[in-house]
Amino acid sequence: MKVDCAFCTNVANKGRILFQTEVAWAFLTNQPIFDGHTLIAPQRCVQYFSETTMLERVQMMGLMDKVQELLKRKLGAQGFNVAWNDGPVAGQTVPHLHMHCVPRVPGDLAKGGHDPRLSTYRVIPERPIQSEDKLQEFAGFLRAK
């Protein structure tokens, strides 16, 4: 854990966890593009994909499968944008490696007005930070059987 890492030190992230393994975790982002936008990261604080172990990679991909299945079932997702920014020059703003899993449904651009495929290299100002209460309530809904 790094003291200056927003993922490691933000206790509120724990209330947004959807899945967790011994070395990886999946939690709702506080700046979602669309409802259900989930981050998947190693629990160990590393900045670059090249710093991850094979176990971390395998478990992160396994969590991606679980998150996508959950978002299909609970939100009707029919597709996903999946990406990570590997280093500051690639747009990484939090120095803790994380993959984005953004659920997509037909017509969602009309609601959100943002196409994540076009934002690889820039921060999107129209992504306001969501309230922790709302995010934790939504995480509870997603986790419910």
Tokens of residue 136, six digits: 């934790």
How far, CA to CA in Å, does 26 sit from each of 100, 110, 116, 126, 134?
A: 10, 27, 19, 23, 17
Q: Annotated active-site positions, please?
A: 98
Distance CA 102, CA 64 (A): 11
Which DSSP helix (H) or strand (E) runs through 83?
strand 79-83
Tokens of residue 132, six digits: 């922790």
Which among 82, 75, 126 is positioned nearest to 105, based on CA atoms? 75
